[in-house]
Structure 1
Amino acid sequence: MPDTPDIQQRILALTERLHHLNYLYYQQDTSEVSDQEFDQLLAELQRLETEHPDLAQPNSPTRRVGGTITKQFPTAVHRYPMLSLGNTYSEDDLREFDERVQRGLEGAPYSYVCELKFDGVAMSLSYEHGQLTQGVTRGDGTRGDVVTPNVRTIKTLPLALRPGPDQPQDFEVRGEVFMPLPVFAELNAEREQNGEALLANPRNAASGTLKLQDSTQVAARKLRFYAYALLTPGRHFASHSAALEALSRYGLPVSDTWRRASGIEEVLEFVHYWAKKRFDLPVATDGIVIKVDDLRQQDQLGYTAKSPRWAIAYKYPAEAARTRLNEVIYNVGRTGAVTPVAMLTPVPLAGTVVKRATLHNANQIELLDLRLGDTVYVEKGGEIIPKITGVDLSARPAEATPIKYPTECPACGTPLVRPEGEAHFRCPNERGCPPQLKARLEHYVSRKALNIDGLGAETVGRFFDLGMVKTVADIYDLPARRPELVTLERLGEKSIDNLIAGIEASKQVPFPRVLFGLGIRYVGETVAQKLAAHYRSIDALMAASAEEMAAVPEVGGVIAVAAAHWFQQAENRELIERLRQAGVQLAVTGEAPVPASDRLAGLTFVISGVFENHSRDELQQLIISNGGKITGSISKKLSYLVAGDNMGPAKREKALGFKVPIISESELMALLPNPDESPAADAAIDAPITAGPREQGSLFS
């Protein structure tokens, strides 16, 4: 067995190598090694860190996949306050700003730096001796939330900087955390398929992601970061532009869109250029930030109570267009939600020609008092999704027709229902509504689910239209129907070979992705992973009640009821059996965790609130590994309510009414075996993080 110094050197070498490869991959868009070799290096480092946790580096590349559960975010005071910038929508105001700068500098020559204003979340990062030590949100400008575990999952952000002779030992980086537009679109498409409310814009999506308690979920959201300022206790650089160039040398992501401008006319040229060009970028922008470049001149100009006098933000006005509403069509999604879509006379807007706009639901139509033939105003919500924001009533024609929301499914004629508390009307014909059936097939073969090569949305839709595939289980009958496949147009022998190989390969897709692929309402990627990890097999999951599922962390009552209802349906159970016969993975592979003890056998627990030393997930695993059971509701049969901070008063009152003992985190730990008695207890809650594949392509591929 290697000596500890040898292991330590190998961990350091792997850490440095992987940091270098990540820099090349995410900053330079190049790869020195194959994805397989990268994964092998990462797996080796992960194994060594698991075997020797005391030797793991604080900024190890294995931290990229997340895994930290935050019970609450601590706060930190900003060493340098994060002030707001003065905003303007007027070019005249920019000229007045320039005049104030000229007066403040008493006629001395000066220049500006112009930067795109990315629409994300302001972040302050601390680096010490080249290592990322802390990430803090803007908060109120004086104090913000410490979200370091979540920040570490941002793959374009270096955890260890590239060394340089001019690099300060201790400095802060200011920048913007954002969600790329393709990622935002993908996230909203998934939410729409799952019947969840759509996120309004990428900025809200990025902000909400940074507040997630589980950094594994943050990693899955693929946030990105652009640096735009470097702050040190003393003046380390002569100009802002020199600091930006230094940040790039250190390996930090700096958008290459910034430019120096010798005067206000060049600033306005920059503003005009990006007014249209910004829509070609894969990141949302809402303006331009103009800063005096020389740092001594910044000091000379100083600050107002709220903002610097040497900088200003020019905000582009929201682009709107005026056009005619010709028709409203109704799309039926995978979950049966019926979504109205406005069909418009084509009109240029924000770099594209808009022909359609979302109307969200019947409430929105009623709120806007829309009528066919109306002249409407269209904007891009978050500069992405076209939406109707109003009606020009002065232009309403006499023959304008009130929009009558359908009472029957536009696809299958089934009477629509509107579940209590929901905004959408839904088609309840899950078994016979063609758009729902086709959408479920498309979801099953999609990249995040079974990812069946050769069977994309278009091909599976074609097979559905031909009557060859109606359920996901029918997909596995296609190889036996090769003689029929070869007769189809535009489907050659090679395509059929790829299709059959892809179907065969899908039988090795892990159970969590299969569970996600089934398309159960509300069961997205994260919930599928949680349920699969908890129950480990489809059979155990089918046997669970809604109450039991609701007790699984990150699941909750609404999801649990939907999942339990799905598994109770005879048709779905038959579907599962057909998938089992086809050889699809319906259980977590590998050995189940070894029980630590039977100390809690026969006892049932409810866990509620936030705890000081463990996450709810960890407490649940401790209870299960020692023979106990978890449930989601309180009854007279319950053994204990484990209460943490912020537990709802209703649960406490109900427990007291049933005379259920209420215990604390420390009292629960006292029920468990002493660690010396049960070495497996720690292992049950300290499973290594599984490294996933690297993302394919560059930052915005």
Structure 2
Amino acid sequence: MSDAPQDEDRTTQQRLAELSARLEEARLAYYGDDAPVMSDADYDRLERELRALEEAHPQLRRPDSPTQTVGGVVGAAFSPVQHLQRMMSLDNAFTSAELAEWDARVRRELGEVEFGYLTELKIDGLAVALVYEHGELVRAATRGDGRVGEDITANARTIASIPHRLATDDPPALVEVRGEVFFPVAEFEKLNEAQAAAGKAPYANPRNTAAGSLRQKDPAVTASRNLAMYVHGIGAREGVTARSQSEVYTLLARWGLPTSPHTRVLPDLDSVERFIASYGENRHSVEHEIDGVVVKVDEFSAQGRLGSTSRAPRWAIAFKYPPEEVTTKLLDIDVNIGRTGRVTPYAVMEPVTVAGSTVEMATLHNGYEVRRKDVRIGDTVIVRKAGDVIPEVLGPVLALRGPDVREFVMPTTCPSCGTPVGPVREGDKDWRCPNAQHCPAQLRERVFALAGRGGLDIEALGWEASIALTDPEHGRPPEATTERQQPVLTSEAGLFDLRVEDVAGVQVWRRRKKNGVEQEAALEPFFYTRGTAKQPPAPRATTLTLFEELEKAKSQPLWRVLVALSIRHVGPTAARALAQSLRSMERIRSAGVEELAGIEGVGRIIAESVVEWFGVDWHREIVDRWAAAGVRMADEVDASVPRTLEGLTLVVTGSLQNWTRDEIKEAILARGGKASGSVSKKTDYVVVGESAGSKEAKARELGRPILTEQQFEVLLAQGPGGLS
């Protein structure tokens, strides 16, 4: 009997896991760190591939898949806040044909119902929810994962366009207003001009600068940035009556809330397409960055008939403009070593403005892509950028190729540590440096990553501080004759053992500008002041903050510690699953592949990666030394929650009225149960909600007990005895 179908299934599962892991990492960087690691176009391409695979193999789709969930994570620097009503994402259309397909489905499902399309520009900003109670602004929060966001009320109050009180004598009892905070293009250009005048690096783009400005711990910094906001809808409300989205916009404007002037109610697809084409040709005439157009069915009654999926309304769609493309000169090709040792070539270019910001570096992905695209040093190249930080070189303009171009040759040794590099397995397109333990570049990247918002959230441990701790000779000029420094941190294992005095002598190479002219690189103290004859060197305020934050990071929950270890494929979703199921680092490190793979949200690929990681002695040393330094290695069980499901396996299928997917999983795990994604003979109970599918049929086939939502709640409160 042939094993081909099983082999194909395993290959598909592996690709699904790989795509999910890459998308999860990209989401974390975009929403959590405001520092994208891939272009919008690349993210969209991977998400579409994942969606297509899931549609072809629905039995392999997981409820925590990036196609089924929304947004990012909540950083520890801000208090988490539950949205009154879920903030959803939008499905995308990239071509006129896809938009026409959506329009046809809407018209087919609405039949003879009359409706219009509210058409508006898609602002490239940060989604925010404002809550007004009896006309007073009581809370502002980021979108987060759609259900829980970050409380940014103090910062939002500094934005001039956000009213602290609604301009009405008869305000509603409650209204949750959704909108987008953005950096006006003119203000962003002023900010970068000031940066240049001060000899500082310019900010990359308006979207990420706006997000970073809104997440400042000091509201005065936010106030100095001249951010703006446009509102585009409402969530929860009491005492608000309207028949359509456009009526809501009129009402919001009457209350003094900022609404976009670039909004139209249009009768049909033809007029929508003309709107899209017009702004596509004039996208830089708008006061803010845009990356597309949002089209919504205007009437609320029609919206209700169309409903929503698990992550997006079916009555709205975002048409995404093609990424912008420009040409520039490719001056050189260099390589970067990532935290997993991946060797990534990147283009060094003549500065060029694309998608609203100036870029001079662009990714080339790997040596295979450089050869495939036939990109050569000295070429004029086409650069694409979809409003993010990392632009991409598409290829050369062959008609402009001169005789002096030269081909790029991938280095055979790591530029950071000198170790031979190459593919891990035959046929791999990516090359890696295998010296994970001692490569300064990999350590630098890992330390920077562990401090990110999705990890231990150590704000003071940024990129420059990571370099200073792990690789102080980074940027050393070839002609320098000074003795090389030894880094104070040779492994992340020693991070929590550091004392302030340990970093007193650390210096870094910096190039300063004087009268607009860049000077030669020189060593400067990083963590301490330089000192004078009257005043000895002393730790900088940022250094003291770093050590305060390192101390606070020791009490972070287990899942954040797991993310901070840089275990391949273990992002926030997998880390939460591991922490909720096993509750301690000791249980996780001693678990085998089968036990780990059986945890909902983990799977075999992640399980094998975890076991492989803990099989390395210097990896275990990281955990041991962190534990010895006081880093939290276990999550305490909440004694107030009864362990009513101890040893029981539950499967929940369909939609429950009073519970989200995450809430269901957390409720089961907190009571000692296991939340499984598939029905088997070992399943104790199957909870069935609306639109339950094949899992309900499988439960009946196997004779497993089936519960309603109400019975599920009884089981949670009283255990199996309450069902008798």
TM-score after normalising by structure 2: 0.51
**Whole-angstrom distance in 2 between the partners of 1:359 and 1:398:** 22
CA contact (8 A) 1:324 1:373 kept: yes
- SS for the counterpart of 2:631 is coil
Moved more, 509-518 or 430-439: 509-518
1:164 aligns with 2:198: no
Q: CA deviation at 1:569?
A: 2.5
Match of residue 411, structure 1, among 416, 423, 431 = 416
1:476 aligns with 2:517: no
Q: CA deviation at 1:116?
A: 5.9
Q: Cα 1:393–1:371, aligned 2, differ >3 Å: closer, same or farther? A: same
Q: CA deviation at 1:338?
A: 2.4
Q: Cα 1:502–1:594, aligned 2, differ >3 Å: closer, same or farther? A: closer
**Whole-angstrom distance in 2 between the partners of 1:672 and 1:84:** 41
- SS for the counterpart of 2:83 is helix
Superposition map of 1:313-324 within 5 A: 319-324=324-329
1:437 aligns with 2:443: yes
CA contact (8 A) 2:384 2:394 kept: yes
Match of residue 115, structure 2, among 57, 76, 81 = 81
CA contact (8 A) 2:334 2:348 kept: yes
Q: 1:666 corresponds to which residue?
A: 707
CA contact (8 A) 1:375 1:391 kept: yes
**Whole-angstrom distance in 2 between the partners of 1:164 and 1:429:** 65
CA RMSD of aligned residues (A): 6.2
Q: CA deviation at 1:578?
A: 0.8
Question: What whole-Å deviation, never above 9, does each CA across 1:550-585 have from its counterpart, x for those lacking one?
Answer: 444444443333233223332222221111111112
Superposition map of 1:595-674 within 5 A: 595-597=642-644, 601=647, 605=649, 607=651, 610=654, 638=682, 645-646=692-693, 661=702, 663=704, 665-666=706-707
Q: CA deviation at 1:334?
A: 1.3
Q: 1:522 corresponds to which residue?
A: 569
- The residue identity in structure 1 corresponding to 2:255 is Y
Gaps of at least 5 residues in structure 1 are 1-35, 43-60, 69-74, 86-114, 132-146, 183-200, 207-223, 238-242, 260-266, 290-312, 683-701
Q: CA deviation at 1:67?
A: 11
Superposition map of 1:304-453 within 5 A: 319-362=324-367, 364-382=369-387, 385-406=390-411, 408-412=413-417, 413-417=419-423, 424-452=430-458
Q: 1:107 corresponds to which residue?
A: none
1:544 aligns with 2:591: yes
**Whole-angstrom distance in 1 between the partners of 2:677 and 2:293:** 48
CA contact (8 A) 1:321 1:377 kept: yes
CA contact (8 A) 2:685 2:706 kept: no
CA contact (8 A) 1:323 1:378 kept: yes
CA contact (8 A) 1:324 1:345 kept: yes
CA contact (8 A) 2:379 2:397 kept: yes
**Whole-angstrom distance in 2 between the partners of 1:118 and 1:487:** 43
Superposition map of 1:2-151 within 5 A: 62-63=82-83, 81-83=115-117, 118=123, 150=146
Q: CA deviation at 1:250?
A: 2.9
**Whole-angstrom distance in 1 between the partners of 2:673 and 2:495:** 40
Match of residue 539, structure 2, among 482, 487, 494 = 494
**Whole-angstrom distance in 1 between the partners of 2:404 and 2:384:** 25
Q: CA deviation at 1:436?
A: 0.9
- SS for the counterpart of 1:562 is helix
Q: 1:57 corresponds to which residue?
A: none
Q: CA deviation at 1:225?
A: 6.4
**Whole-angstrom distance in 2 between the partners of 1:236 and 1:457:** 45
Q: CA deviation at 1:437?
A: 0.9
CA contact (8 A) 1:376 1:392 kept: yes
- SS for the counterpart of 1:331 is strand
**Whole-angstrom distance in 2 between the partners of 1:673 and 1:236:** 43
CA contact (8 A) 1:547 1:633 kept: no
**Whole-angstrom distance in 1 between the partners of 2:245 and 2:284:** 36
Q: Cα 1:383–1:625, aligned 2, differ >3 Å: closer, same or farther? A: closer
- SS for the counterpart of 2:554 is helix
**Whole-angstrom distance in 2 between the partners of 1:66 and 1:235:** 17
**Whole-angstrom distance in 1 between the partners of 2:492 and 2:596:** 24
Q: 2:464 corresponds to which residue?
A: 458
**Whole-angstrom distance in 2 between the partners of 1:447 and 1:619:** 25
Q: Cα 1:662–1:374, aligned 2, differ >3 Å: closer, same or farther? A: farther
Question: What whole-Å deviation, never above 9, does each CA across 1:254-283 have from its counterpart, x for those lacking one?
Answer: 258999xxxxxxx9xx999986575x84x5
- SS for the counterpart of 2:231 is strand
Q: CA deviation at 1:441?
A: 1.4
- The residue identity in structure 2 corresponding to 1:458 is E
Q: CA deviation at 1:643?
A: 9.0
- SS for the counterpart of 1:341 is strand
**Whole-angstrom distance in 1 between the partners of 2:175 and 2:460:** 50
- The residue identity in structure 2 corresponding to 1:663 is R
Q: Cα 1:453–1:346, aligned 2, differ >3 Å: closer, same or farther? A: closer
Q: CA deviation at 1:247?
A: 1.8
Q: Cα 1:454–1:397, aligned 2, differ >3 Å: closer, same or farther? A: closer
CA contact (8 A) 2:84 2:176 kept: no
**Whole-angstrom distance in 2 between the partners of 1:668 and 1:318:** 46
Moved more, 426-435 or 345-354: 345-354
Q: Cα 1:350–1:631, aligned 2, differ >3 Å: closer, same or farther? A: closer
Q: Cα 1:669–1:181, aligned 2, differ >3 Å: closer, same or farther? A: farther
CA contact (8 A) 2:233 2:245 kept: no
**Whole-angstrom distance in 2 between the partners of 1:351 and 1:344:** 17
CA contact (8 A) 2:678 2:695 kept: no
Q: Cα 1:277–1:336, aligned 2, differ >3 Å: closer, same or farther? A: farther
Count the aligned residue pairs: 487
- The residue identity in structure 2 corresponding to 1:485 is A
Q: CA deviation at 1:117?
A: 5.5
Q: 1:566 corresponds to which residue?
A: 613
CA contact (8 A) 2:683 2:704 kept: no
- SS for the counterpart of 1:494 is coil
- The residue identity in structure 2 corresponding to 1:494 is P
Question: What whole-Å deviation, never above 9, does each CA across 1:400-436 have from its counterpart, x for those lacking one?
Answer: 4444445654434333225699864333332122211
Question: What whole-Å deviation, never above 9, does each CA across 1:438-475 have from its counterpart, x for those lacking one?
Answer: 11112233455334465443233223233210222312
CA contact (8 A) 1:640 1:661 kept: no
- The residue identity in structure 2 corresponding to 1:482 is E
Q: CA deviation at 1:586?
A: 1.6
Question: What whole-Å deviation, never above 9, does each CA across 1:316-358 have from its counterpart, x for those lacking one?
Answer: 9965432222322221111222222112233344444432222
Superposition map of 1:232-251 within 5 A: 246-250=251-255
Superposition map of 1:580-591 within 5 A: 580-589=627-636, 591=638
- SS for the counterpart of 1:566 is helix
- SS for the counterpart of 1:415 is coil
**Whole-angstrom distance in 2 between the partners of 1:453 and 1:177:** 24
CA contact (8 A) 1:65 1:153 kept: no
Q: Cα 1:245–1:437, aligned 2, differ >3 Å: closer, same or farther? A: same
- SS for the counterpart of 2:634 is coil
Q: CA deviation at 1:235?
A: 13
Gaps of at least 5 residues in structure 2 are 1-75, 89-105, 137-142, 186-205, 212-228, 235-239, 265-274, 296-317, 472-485, 508-524, 530-537
Q: 2:188 corresponds to which residue?
A: none
Q: 1:30 corresponds to which residue?
A: none
- The residue identity in structure 2 corresponding to 1:473 is A
TM-score after normalising by structure 1: 0.53
